[in-house]
Amino acid sequence: MVMIDLALLRLEKFAEMAILFDKLPTILVLAVMVGIFVALRRHVKSPRLHLWIAAWVLIFVHFFVQIFEPPDGNLTPLTYLIDLGCLQLSAMYFIASLTSFFEDKRLTFSFLTLTGLPALVYTAGLAYDLNWRWLYISSAAIIFYGAPLFVVLRRKVVATFYVWAPIVAVTGTVAMVRAWHGEYIFGFLAILTLGFAFPGFLFYRRYPRWSPGVVTSAGGFLLWGAVFPLGRIMDVWAPAVKINPEIWNTPKFFVAFGMILTLLEDKSEFLRSAGRREQKLNHQLQKFAGITSRLLTGVEVNSVCNEIASAIRETSTFDRVVIILSNDGRNLFAAGHAGYEGDAKTLIEHKCNEVWKFDDMVEACTIGEKLGERSVILRPEQMEKYGQVPSSTSFEPSAYWMKGNEILVPLRSMRGVHVGCIGLSDPRDVTRVNSEELTKIELLAGDLAVTVDNAALHRQLARAEKLAAIGQLVAGVAHELNNPLTSIVGYTELISDEVPEGPARQKLDKMLREAQRMKRIIENLLRFARQNSLARKSADLEVLLQDVLALREYHLHNHDIEVEVQIEPGLPHVALDEDQFKQILLNLLNNSIDALEGNSKKRIRIEASCNNGRVILCFDDNGYGFADLNRVFDPFYTTKPVGKGTGLGLSICYGIVKEHGGEIHAENLEPHGARILLELPVEAAALAAQSI
């Protein structure tokens, strides 16, 4: 008997060793597969890969536990639960990795909890041979009804939902009916069948291409799902047929190899895409470098803005590009654009020229969400204030972009002065809307801003040099003319006293008036040329303005000129020379009066306000406007009839305002009219009081 027992013991050992040797190749292959997936994690950064690793670890545990299977094939309840529970969970992990929301960790965890826990409960009931049909029915209801409901409540329903959801619901209903009649194994096999078959359809949906990796993985999942119903059919209808168990494991290897191949295909495509991106980047750099070289040579900015916009459109992902500039710090214009056609082109030009203002642009660049080093992105609700240019391009819901977004790249010079912006919209690839895509555009924008600012400084310098040269010339000529003219005036007055009333006396009086007028012109010339020291003191601008209006009140009333004055309450004082500033106000008022000659309805509007520590004074009239805005402040330039003006009024105003540290600008109004705008710094004491 002892010998028989020893022989039986040896047979059991041999049987256990046979089981181990049968399972060992599969376990080793799976271990290598898991190692490959873990190694790929260094090169493929994706949450999907993490879920795949977890799923294959569960498959490995499923096979590893089978080593402890006794020769009679009866597993302990706990071993049975671990074995088939890991298999069930791996199916749920595969499905979760291929859903449209796999990147959302919260939704993915919720889905795994919703389906994984009931699957484990169902398997535990079978492992411990529990005859609780409500346990199986409720678990099946949660899995087969809960999954479609979860998708309906959490995600946007797409057309494919109406294909798979009925299949899942019908299968679940049949499983619950079978469970009611005590056939619990049907629900278990249904979970495994759908759990491994569905990833086959989802895999192609996530990787829509007919590549070897995708075909192998998708086909492997479909075969894997078919293993369970086929195995059940063989057990019922052909129990005598013996099939090598490794044949049933073949689909698993197809799936694993297919997944690895798919990841390698993605990596290869990524490298090819990186090469294409590098080529595009080099092309972009060459394009931008050529434009930058031309900008630095002093080319006229407006002449290259369309080329710049086209280059940005060609080398970036943005299909619509507009370059908005400002020459005077108040008005904007579309210097160049690309991608705007038809009505959109007309609308963008209209908005830039007549609707959007400089302050709107600066504000938009401030309220937008920072995207690059300097660029900002404005959401549709932020763009509503400024009015959008409609686009026919539609976009899928995305974290990168939504319809109505606009990217602004400010054009800010080295001095920190805003000179415009670049507007970008309608990306062809929304995933490229990031700081990396905008880096080169921002560099080009910096070069463009410097060029625009340098052009403005050059214009100011040229004007200053012209004024200085003319001033020197005028000073010399005026001194030479002043002495003989003084003699003419003096002798004319003496002769007038000796000549009695009559035609001769009238001619002398006329000669005297003209000589005195010439003297006043020479005094203006000397004042224009002379660099006087300013006698600055704190002055109330409203009081000075009322004094000047009082001087011309009679003329304004007799010529039916309507004057509207709007002074901001509490306007701070300005440090200035009162006499010189009255001369400015009087010159501007006289210019407006002269410009209204011949108008049926004559109107002058004077407005004063404070903004950012500067007092803004605006003179508007509804006259004929300026013929040439570029020459408004040039000495001796005038559009008035001969004898009506010297062309020195605005030149003198320009010099006085500059000496006060201010700015003066001229512009034409639509449909007709002109505007002179003065900006003067607020007195330091007044500014301090205002900030308290």
The separation between CA 32 and the C-alpha centre of its own chain, rounded to angstroms, equals 46
Q: Spell out the CATH class of 297-391+398-453.
A: alpha beta
What per-residue confidence (pLDDT) applies to 474?
Answer: 67
Question: Which residue in 193, 224, 191, 221 sits closest to 121, CA to CA?
Answer: 191
Q: Are 148 and 161 in contact (CB under 8 A)?
A: yes
Report which of 218, 227, 206, 201 is spatially closest to residue 259, judged by C-alpha positions: 218
Is 3.30.470.10 the CATH classification of the domain at 535-691? no
Q: Where in the chain is the domain with CATH 3.30.565.10?
A: 535-691
Distance, in Å, from the CA atom of 281 to the CA atom of 169, rounded to the nearest integer, reads 51
Which neighbouring-strand residues pair with 619?
606, 676
Radius of gyration of the chain (CA): 43
Residue 58 is inside which H or E element, if any?
A: helix 47-65
Q: Is residue 411 within 8 Å of residue 362, measured between CB atoms?
A: no
The token pair that represents 601 in the structure block: 């309805």
| Rounded Cα gap, residues 202 and 100, in angstroms | 9
Smallest Cα–Cα separation from 126: which of 82, 72, 60? 82
Tell me what pLDDT residue 689 has.
Answer: 39
Q: Left, alpha or beta for 459 (phi > 0: left; psi -120 to 50: alpha)? A: alpha
Cα–Cα distances (Å) from 403 to 357, 385, 436, in that order, read 24, 16, 21
| Segments of the chain scoring below 50 in pLDDT | 1-21, 642-643, 646, 685-692
The pLDDT of residue 688 = 40
Q: Which DSSP helix (H) or strand (E) runs through 150?
A: helix 133-154
Residues of the chain with CATH 3.30.450.40: 297-391+398-453
Question: Per residue in 249-281, pLDDT tens?
Answer: 888 889 989 988 988 888 888 778 777 766 765
pTM above 0.95, yes or no: no
Instruction: Say which residues have a Cβ less than 8 Å from residue 440's Cβ, sequence separation at least 6.
Output: 281, 284, 285, 288, 315, 316
* Yes or no: domain 2-267 corresponds to CATH 1.20.1070: yes
Measure Cα distances from 80 to 27, 123, 286 in Å. 18, 8, 66
What would the two tokens of residue 450 be?
């410097």
**According to the model, what pLDDT value does residue 63 have?**
81
Q: What distances in angstroms separate CA 659 from CA 121, 530, 532, 636, 656, one per listed residue?
A: 88, 12, 9, 20, 5
